Structure 1
Amino acid sequence: MTILTKEQTKRICDRVLSYSKADECIVGVSGSRNGNIRFARNAVSTAGLAEDTTVSVQVAFGNRQGTASINEFDDKSLEKVVRRAEDLARLAPENPEFMPTVGKQDYKPSATFNAKTAAIDPEYRAQAAAYAIEACRKNKLVAAGFFTDGTSFSSVANSKGVWGHQDQTMLDFTCTVRTEDGRGSGWVKRSATDAARFDPREAADVAIEKALRSVEAKALEPGRYTVILEPAATSELLGFMLFGFNARQTDEGRSFLSKKGGASRLGDKLFDEKVNVWADPWNTDVPVLPWDQESLLARQRMDLIKNGKVNALQYSQFWAKKKGVQPTAMPGNIIMAGTDKTTADLIASTKKGILVTRTWYIRMVDPQSVLLTGLTRDGTFYIENGKIKYPIKNFRFNESPVTMLNNIEEIGKPVIIGGDEVPFQMSIPPMKVRDFNFTSLSDAV
């Protein structure tokens, strides 16, 4: 009963709404079937399939709210979960920022489901792991990785006529390859909605090549360098910054977009004019649900940065009412414009610079400027005269993505970055950035 049809979830939602005696009621029905295979030290360590289905009910009496969930779907159980939510609402304190649930929304379907991904089976997962393992054994390397795929559904309804249902698929693959002596390391990440866009051989080959090339790393003096950042190296950095595009945080002085006196930097040019960033649930590379799962507002395309200028802020229902503007749904994805240039093209046009495969252990230093600190890892290389010259030891960096996006020299072709490591589904390009600030060396590979 894990993957329910639209008709089945509609019946469940209708039954739940019919049982409710509250002023308003919101129902969510969701389920997933997630498969995985994990490997380490050139051998499969675990594999499995997890299934789950849940009904959640949120009710309100005035501005008192209660929420309950259950994984049983007979009528008696559905009525029970409604009564539990109502009992909790009567006991809850009043919420001074309570907002009534939204009225009927127009949810335009997005392309979140792919039949080929939904058909992934244990043999497919085993083959994805097998290539990395066998290739590493041949090259006297050691592989560790994780492949996961999922098919899921989400349905939402409320007592004001909202109704939406959508099926989703996804896959995510990460692989770390080390030399036997631990002196070289390579890493790769691939994400997709459509399994046809995933090639496990191509992915593993990238990690293998970087592991082989990263042996005998040389120390380079810390300082400011021109860097080529692969998408995986920038995804988390950008995530920290994009959370600042929140109207309330900005108005209350808690965002890098805040000005003194309560004003915002909306309309200001803070980035290079090549920078264009937007959210779009119907993007075919990183499609997401057409509704915000928290507010149930229908998502729309939102241009956050246009030609380097701050173009939009996200308004919650509460803050929108306070400011007398229309509320906006939370973005589910982030897309950044790019070009047709590959990472190799960016390297070829670089006289002197550093290629960064990945950043990790990132922490906030200063929220007002989005100054972050972190480390490079799993393949960092020195570039000279358009070619990778030799591997270098990893660095700690202190840098702000705001400054980084203002120092862009070239942008490449966007790739999909998803999974648990990033706050949004992303389509972002590799970037060549000047004056990236490396503050010290790290002995980790």
Structure 2
Amino acid sequence: MKQLNQEDTRAICERVLGFSKADECSVTIAGSRAGNIRFARNSVSTAGLNEDRRLTVTVAFGKRQGTATINEFDDKSLEKAVRRAEDIARLAPENPEFMPAPGKQDFKASTEYFAATAAIDPDYRAEVASHAILAGRKNKLVTAGFFNDVTGFETIANSRGVFGHRDYTNLGYTCTARTEDGRGSGWVTRGVVDAKRFDAREATDVAIEKALRSVDAKALEPGRYTVILEPAATSDLVSRMFGAFGARQADEGRSFLAKKGGGNRLGEKLFDEQVNVWADPWDKDVPVSPWDAQSMLARQRTDLIKNGKVASLDYSQFWAQKQGVRPTARHGNIIMGGGGKSLEELIAGTKKGILVTRTWYIRMVDPQSVLLTGLTRDGTFYVENGKIKYPIKNFRFNESPITMLNNVDELGKPVILGGDEGRFQLVIPPMRIRDFNFTSLSDAV
């Protein structure tokens, strides 16, 4: 299936906007080619390639909106979609929080497309799986994993002058390696936009090493420990916190950023001074779309946390108008600063602690404080005098990322975790945290 370029999509958008008789009209065109390969029990189980193109048109009559989606691009189909959206809008109830579409935006292009990723073919995917399978067999391990790559485009336009086009690529890889008797397990994840920065052998070898080292785990008593968290162990915890940076949530008392008595905690110091977090659509490691597709607003580089202080909140168009401020686009990536030390150097500087390589099965306990519960998994180790002494049994924990980022002992060098459509692209450092709360043991590996 042909991936449409900017000239192609601009012509289609102009035709759609020309068909519309509504007060306003917005168009999104998106397409992708997504390949994948899955393996389990040291054998490939599935592989595939999916290609798709779709167009979504949204119209409004006053505060009444309607939306229609199609995957055919001839004039008859385009006009039919516009009419369907208009019919829906006329029947829809008024939206009391309706906001007009934004006017023309200045979109600064972000480098999201890389030829090496776009060139990935079935042979490349097979090589990724082959190394994991053969390395697993060689080490008497059982491997399972998933590799996927995406090459796509997106175009947005509206009747008020907005137009933007982007081409992008990304890939993701996860691999689990387990001993044949199930007593040891290791896991790894990788995500990048440029295939030249992905090494399947290096990634798989990480999972294999953890599996081999995690056999014969010993039990430690639950309690509060100093922990060294690998970036993958931290990401699912802190990403839930950043989902609560909406100004409306805070102003209405529905998040940890709500102030007692009303208002929000913008500008307050809630974290350790070492904590600095920002979003940047043009970051070279995790570039994202220069616009927020939902609002069609241009993204900007934005500090979320600066030296431990809450530096900004997200304002939807409706809430921004209500509060008398400028609206903001939703962030597409989260980048956390750190120091210059590697994970190994953080371990070397730890007198006594626990190395956590992965967290999973995370659930919210208290949204107001972002208290989370979950389990460690796939390689948890006891550290003493700067060295990994032995593997330990996994724990259940009850902890909040807000508390974690208040108990920072030291941050390491940030690592690219990547992401996918629908979640933050992440750059997170390994970190050493004081008083992490382990509440019970788990027999799972």
* TM interval, short-chain normalised: over 0.9
Q: Partners of 1:12 and 1:100 in 2: how far apart?
A: 22
* 1:368 pairs with 2:356: no
Q: Partners of 1:260 and 1:401 in 2: how far apart?
A: 20
Amino acid at match of 2:267: G
Alignment partner, residue 82 of structure 2: 82
Please give the residue correspondences for 1:91-170 in structure 2 after superposition, counting only pairs within 5 Å.
Answer: 91-170=91-170
Confirm or deny: 8 A CA contact 2:252 2:263 kept in the other structure.
no
Q: Partners of 1:213 and 1:187 in 2: how far apart?
A: 12
Please give the residue correspondences for 1:418-437 in structure 2 after superposition, counting only pairs within 5 Å.
Answer: 418-419=418-419, 423-437=423-437
Structure 2 unaligned segments of length 5 or more: list them. none
After superposition, the C-alpha distances for 1:30-52 in whole angstroms (9 at most, x for unaligned) are: 00000000000001111110000
Confirm or deny: 8 A CA contact 1:59 1:67 kept in the other structure.
yes
Amino acid at match of 1:355: L
Amino acid at match of 2:138: K
Amino acid at match of 1:29: I
TM-score, normalised to structure 1, is: 0.99
Q: Partners of 1:71 and 1:431 in 2: how far apart?
A: 46
Q: Partners of 2:240 and 2:71 in 1: how far apart?
A: 35
After superposition, the C-alpha distances for 1:59-95 in whole angstroms (9 at most, x for unaligned) are: 0000000000000000100000000000000010100
TM-score, normalised to structure 2, is: 0.99
The CA deviation at 1:259 is 1.0
Q: Partners of 2:108 and 2:241 in 1: how far apart?
A: 28
The CA deviation at 1:418 is 3.0
* SS of 2:28 mapped into structure 1: strand
* SS of 2:378 mapped into structure 1: strand
Structure 1 unaligned segments of length 5 or more: list them. none
Amino acid at match of 2:408: I
* SS of 1:388 mapped into structure 2: strand
Amino acid at match of 1:349: G
Confirm or deny: 8 A CA contact 2:37 2:48 kept in the other structure.
yes
Amino acid at match of 2:327: P
The CA deviation at 1:393 is 0.4
Alignment partner, residue 255 of structure 1: 255
Assess, with a 3 A threshold, how the Cα gap between structure 1 residues 297 and 421 changes in structure 2: closer, same or farther: closer
Amino acid at match of 2:238: L
The CA deviation at 1:240 is 1.1
* SS of 2:321 mapped into structure 1: helix
* 1:44 pairs with 2:44: yes
Confirm or deny: 8 A CA contact 1:236 1:423 kept in the other structure.
no
Alignment partner, residue 348 of structure 2: 348
* 1:33 pairs with 2:44: no
Please give the residue correspondences for 1:210-289 in structure 2 after superposition, counting only pairs within 5 Å.
Answer: 210-289=210-289
Confirm or deny: 8 A CA contact 1:2 1:32 kept in the other structure.
no
Q: Partners of 2:328 and 2:421 in 1: how far apart?
A: 25
Q: Partners of 2:2 and 2:210 in 1: how far apart?
A: 40
* SS of 1:329 mapped into structure 2: coil
Amino acid at match of 1:314: D
The CA deviation at 1:394 is 0.4
Amino acid at match of 2:28: G
The CA deviation at 1:263 is 2.0
Identity of aligned residues (%): 74
* SS of 2:292 mapped into structure 1: coil
Confirm or deny: 8 A CA contact 1:143 1:178 kept in the other structure.
yes
Q: Partners of 1:401 and 1:80 in 2: how far apart?
A: 49
Q: Partners of 1:441 and 1:398 in 2: how far apart?
A: 12
Please give the residue correspondences for 1:388-427 in structure 2 after superposition, counting only pairs within 5 Å.
Answer: 388-419=388-419, 423-427=423-427
Alignment partner, residue 171 of structure 2: 171
Alignment partner, residue 204 of structure 1: 204
Alignment partner, residue 315 of structure 1: 315
Q: Partners of 2:173 and 2:415 in 1: how far apart?
A: 14
Q: Partners of 2:268 and 2:335 in 1: how far apart?
A: 20
Amino acid at match of 1:400: S
The CA deviation at 1:419 is 3.4
Q: Partners of 1:194 and 1:161 in 2: how far apart?
A: 32
Q: Partners of 2:259 and 2:79 in 1: how far apart?
A: 50
Amino acid at match of 2:178: R
* SS of 2:84 mapped into structure 1: helix
After superposition, the C-alpha distances for 1:129-171 in whole angstroms (9 at most, x for unaligned) are: 1111111101100000000000000000000010000000000
* SS of 1:262 mapped into structure 2: coil
Assess, with a 3 A threshold, how the Cα gap between structure 1 residues 353 and 300 changes in structure 2: closer, same or farther: same
Amino acid at match of 2:265: R
Equivalent residues, number: 445
Confirm or deny: 8 A CA contact 2:17 2:159 kept in the other structure.
yes
Confirm or deny: 8 A CA contact 2:419 2:426 kept in the other structure.
no
The CA deviation at 1:421 is 10
